[in-house]
Amino acid sequence: MEFFLDTGIVAEIKEAVQLGIIDGVTTNPSLIAKTGRNQKDVIKEISGIIDGPISAEVIATDFEGMLIEGEDLAKIHSNVVIKLPLTEAGIAACKRFSQKGIKTNVTLCFSVNQALLAAKAGATYISPFIGRLDDIGQNGNDLIGEIRSLYDNYGFKTKILAASIRHAAHVRESALLGADVGTMPLSVVKALYKHPLTDKGLETFLADHKKANS
Answer yes or no: are the C-beta atoms of 141 and 161 closer than 8 Å: no
Among candidate residues 14, 34, 40, 83, the one labeled active-site is 83
To the query of whether residue 95 is one of the catalytic residues in this protein, the response is no
Rounded CA-CA distance 91/13 in Å is: 29
Phi and psi torsions of 19, nearest 5°: -70, -20
Query: Sign of the CA dihedral 83, 61, 67, 112?
Result: positive
CA distances from 103 to 30, 52, 175 (A): 21, 12, 23
Rounded CA-CA distance 60/68 in Å is: 9
Check residue 163 and report its DSSP letter: B
DSSP β-bridge partners for residue 81:
55
User: What single letter denotes the amino acid at residue 5?
Assistant: L
CA distances from 1 to 20, 129, 187 (A): 14, 17, 18
- List, by residue number, the catalytic residues: 83
